[in-house]
Structure 1
Amino acid sequence: MNIKIPINVTILSVLSEFESASAEDKSKLRIDLLSQLVNLAKNLPHPASGQTYQRWQLFAQIAGVDLSLAKLFESHCDALSILSELGYHPEIDDQLWAVWAADGGPAPLQVKDNLCNGIKPWCSGAEFIQKVLMSYKNQQGQAQLCIVDLSHSSISTDSSHWHAVGMNATKTARVSFENTPVKLIGHPNSYLKRPGFWHGAAGVAACWYGAAVGLAGFLQESCQVSPNPFKKLYLGEVAHQLEITKQYFQYVAELIDSKPMLNHEREIRILRAQTEQCCLSVVERVGKALGARPFCEDATFAQLMADLPVFIRQSHAAFDYQQITELCLSDQSLWEL
């Protein structure tokens, strides 16, 4: 079973060194590695550029090594793609970027006269990201984007509200703004209406998939070292799920590249649902097949197992999955062969 995704050899080498490091060393190296990856992937194709699948392959490969690293990298790349798609390419620089789009919190953001006040929840990388594309609701309730330079003295972070063991390495926090200067990006709702909103949502699912591939790799290796019929049975089931999901990624990537001005929302919602189901199936089957030992003694395996369910749930914060039910009820073609 070929579950490796070919990518740039230099990036693969960097990831391999990181993967072999101790858990303590990884916490020190992660931000440096993120900067290296950002530098190595400066020419990463944007979604709908004709190389969408190659972009997702890179996200998946990183996620198979460290899901927190993949989340931070994907968020940086998404920010640059958003700026490019909305016509703000001159704003792109060599800083570490992120997209902070979670809503809610105790004091939703208010922006007036290009000054921001309030609290933004679930801000990944809050301690080390340098610039951010941040969403908020304007006075008419429309989604608006702004750029924030996080070096400004009016900004403070509070990490005391993040209690999950999974994805802890993203250093997710609440961020408070007090008369913080911001630059508005795009027209109201242009962030949500652009085709790339859904193209980017598929990129997040590629991270989920990559983590599942990484977990499957542990089972594959175990079957080679100490094979038994039960592990082989689970490996076959896992390989089947991953292959089906990979083929749908390929199909959706080709669809996006062939019709780049369409958002392909329906197909991408289906892709995310399929990928989530696949990932949770992999978590269950790999866990059963390998037993307690890797949970307790293999740092990379244990971290992926803790990270993946949290990242999936966290990723849904920006998407209302009630809509997929409404879509299925309203679109009869989904039930036709």
Structure 2
Amino acid sequence: MAWSGEPQAAKPGEARRFGTTLTRTEDGWVVDGTKAFATSATGADWAVLLVSLAGPGGARHAAAPESVLLLGCDLRHPSVTVDTSWWDPVGMRATASHVVRFDRTPVPAAWQLGQPGDYVRQSWQAAFIPHYAASFLGAAEGAYDYAIQYVEKQDKGGDPYVQQRVGSMAVDLDTARLWLRHVARLWDTGRIDEARIAGSRARHVVEHLALSTVDHCIRACGARSLVRPSPVERILRDLTFYVRHDNDDHLLATIGRAALGREHDASFFKP
């Protein structure tokens, strides 16, 4: 797992911001502080920590991008504790992205990955972005499969309005798959600069295609599709929460800056 989350704006009810600080030692580093959105915190034995020599902020909020380090961390060390009370989202309840606390956690120098600033300078995050689109597509495919089975079982396939909804879903899914294949081909053929911005474009487009697909499913199947234990109820909650991972407005503005030939941040979409 790779953990960067150190949001610097406290939500209502939070007394303090998240963040880590680093201290250099003869043997490596000592990490102090907290990280949020620590995925699989209760199940993983190791994590890669994205931390900054400049102080709290991780990679996304680092004041000095060249200061960002990647450190391997043994989560079994007694100085590492997990706060499971923080992660109580409206969706993605099956995940475990808790708050993790580091109380002078030692990290040997041999566990440092690369050089300071490599992650930001080489845009490693940009290679990670298309996975969001793939996850969105998976949610949409689940909604589509449910809709097809439900429509057939309820003998609603002859309804022209239902047919239009199903047709729209099928086109949305094909479009999303084509975008992901396009991005993968760019990476596979070494067209790195093109692949980075294409990944952001796919991330933007597939978000809207997936949300559209789920909406068509609900409209075709009706309110019963949102009654538990229907999988659509969970898909709707999970998808509408997951697409908030990165602000689509900032992402689209980044795509526009790139198209205009202006300086842009393909990793974290900062202005």
Partner of 2:42: 127
Deviation at 1:166, TM superposition (A): 0.7
- Aligned partner of 1:184 among 108, 112, 115: 112
- Report the Cα distance in structure 2 between the residues aligned to 1:180 and 1:260, rounded to whole angstroms: 40
- Aligned partner of 1:295 among 202, 216, 226: 226
In structure 2, what residue type is equivalent to 1:175?
Answer: V
- Report the Cα distance in structure 2 between the residues aligned to 1:298 and 1:126, rounded to whole angstroms: 27
Partner of 1:99: 2
User: Is the radius of gyration larger for structure 1 or structure 2?
Assistant: 2
Contact 1:219 1:289 in 2 (8 A): yes
In structure 1, what residue type is equivalent to 2:20?
Answer: L
Quick one: structure 1 residues 160 and 325, their matched pair in 2 at CA, closer, same or farther if it must change by over 3 Å? farther
Deviation at 1:138, TM superposition (A): 1.5
- Report the Cα distance in structure 2 between the residues aligned to 1:187 and 1:173, rounded to whole angstroms: 28
Deviation at 1:325, TM superposition (A): 3.7
The one of the two structures with greater contact order (alpha-carbon pairs below 8 A, sep at least 6) is 1
Q: How does 1:132-211 map to 2 (within 5 A)?
A: 132-139=47-54, 141=64, 142-182=67-107, 183-194=111-122, 196-211=124-139
Quick one: structure 1 residues 223 and 253, their matched pair in 2 at CA, closer, same or farther if it must change by over 3 Å? same
Per residue, is there more strand in 1 or in 2? 2
Quick one: structure 1 residues 327 and 263, their matched pair in 2 at CA, closer, same or farther if it must change by over 3 Å? closer
Partner of 2:209: 278
Partner of 2:144: 216
Moved over 6 A (4+): none
Paired positions, count: 233
Deviation at 1:117, TM superposition (A): 0.2
In structure 2, what residue type is equivalent to 1:264?
Answer: A
With the length of structure 2 as denominator, give the TM-score of the two structures: 0.78
Is structure 2 residue 154 aligned with structure 1 residue 255? Answer: no
With the length of structure 1 as denominator, give the TM-score of the two structures: 0.64
Structure 1 residues not aligned, in runs of 5+: 1-97, 332-337
Deviation at 1:118, TM superposition (A): 0.7
SS at structure 2 position matched to 1:170: coil
Quick one: structure 1 residues 172 and 299, their matched pair in 2 at CA, closer, same or farther if it must change by over 3 Å? farther
Deviations 1:43-102 (A, max 9, x none): xxxxxxxxxxxxxxxxxxxxxxxxxxxxxxxxxxxxxxxxxxxxxxxxxxxxxxx11122
Contact 2:79 2:102 in 1 (8 A): yes
Structure 2 residues not aligned, in runs of 5+: 9-16, 55-62, 263-271
Partner of 2:237: 306
Partner of 2:12: none
- Report the Cα distance in structure 1 between the residues aligned to 2:117 and 2:83, rounded to whole angstroms: 29
Using the aligned pairs only, state the percent identity: 23
Quick one: structure 1 residues 168 and 297, their matched pair in 2 at CA, closer, same or farther if it must change by over 3 Å? closer
Deviates more, 1:188-197 or 1:115-124: 188-197
In structure 2, what residue type is equivalent to 1:104?
Answer: P
Note the aligned Cα RMSD (angstroms). Answer: 2.3
- Report the Cα distance in structure 2 between the residues aligned to 1:135 and 1:260, rounded to whole angstroms: 26
In structure 1, what residue type is equivalent to 2:210?
Answer: C
Per residue, is there more helix in 1 or in 2? 1
- Report the Cα distance in structure 1 between the residues aligned to 2:18 and 2:52, rounded to whole angstroms: 12
Contact 1:195 1:261 in 2 (8 A): no
Deviation at 1:324, TM superposition (A): 2.8
Contact 1:241 1:278 in 2 (8 A): yes
Deviation at 1:198, TM superposition (A): 1.9
Partner of 1:264: 195
In structure 1, what residue type is equivalent to 2:19?
Answer: P
Deviation at 1:258, TM superposition (A): 0.7
Partner of 1:86: none
- Report the Cα distance in structure 1 between the residues aligned to 2:194 and 2:2, rounded to whole angstroms: 19
